[in-house]
Structure 1
């Protein structure tokens, strides 16, 4: 898989305190799920967070975030984060919190 294991470990460390977190290889990277719903994932060059459409503006206001457009079309409710921004603990914590909050509103799979 094409993802940075250091980024994956960073996300593991951030999410380890939550019950219901699992990992799954998806989208050419590694995704983290809460009760079967995607929270975030790491890929070559950075990470993505499923923050939900209502949190997009707040997530995009944090330096390092950009629209997620892996397929050439922007995917609503997701953001992409450049690798260099992932090392900012405060920013990463904000995106992670938004993504966990979003996943927690979804029914378990």
Structure 2
């Protein structure tokens, strides 16, 4: 199944102020690389996968619709969270996840974007 096109458009809009953004199709998802590092992906069924600070992961999992990301049925690293479509319905919730992803992206890439 292909990635969610509407979600991809929301992500593009949210990343429109970033200088270095590249889109990469992988595993049926559309990954958004910011400053050379994966920040978020648009997955199937409207799910957003977020790369976040592993030290914040437990707290972030308390948010609506958040769960550990899995690949091929196995949990991914602690810094990866998938958010169901109902957890990003509101602009406020979606923006909160994008902020988490971009804050961590700046930390790992050493960028000021």
1:15 paired residue number: 15
Shift of 1:95: 1.2
Cα shift at 1:67: 0.8
The DSSP-based 3-state class of the residue aligned with 2:95 is: helix
Alignment partner of 1:106: what SS?
A: helix
Give the equivalent residue in structure 2 for 1:103: 105
RMSD, aligned CA: 1.6
Alpha-carbon distance in 1 for matches of 2:27, 2:79: 16
Deviation for aligned residue 1:70: 2.5
TM-score scaled by structure 2? 0.86
- Whole-Å separation in 2 of the counterparts to 1:24 and 1:80: 18
**1:27-66 → structure 2 map (5 Å cutoff):** 27-45=27-45, 46-66=47-67
| TM-score, structure 1 as length reference | 0.89
| Structure 2 residue ranges without an equivalent (≥5) | none
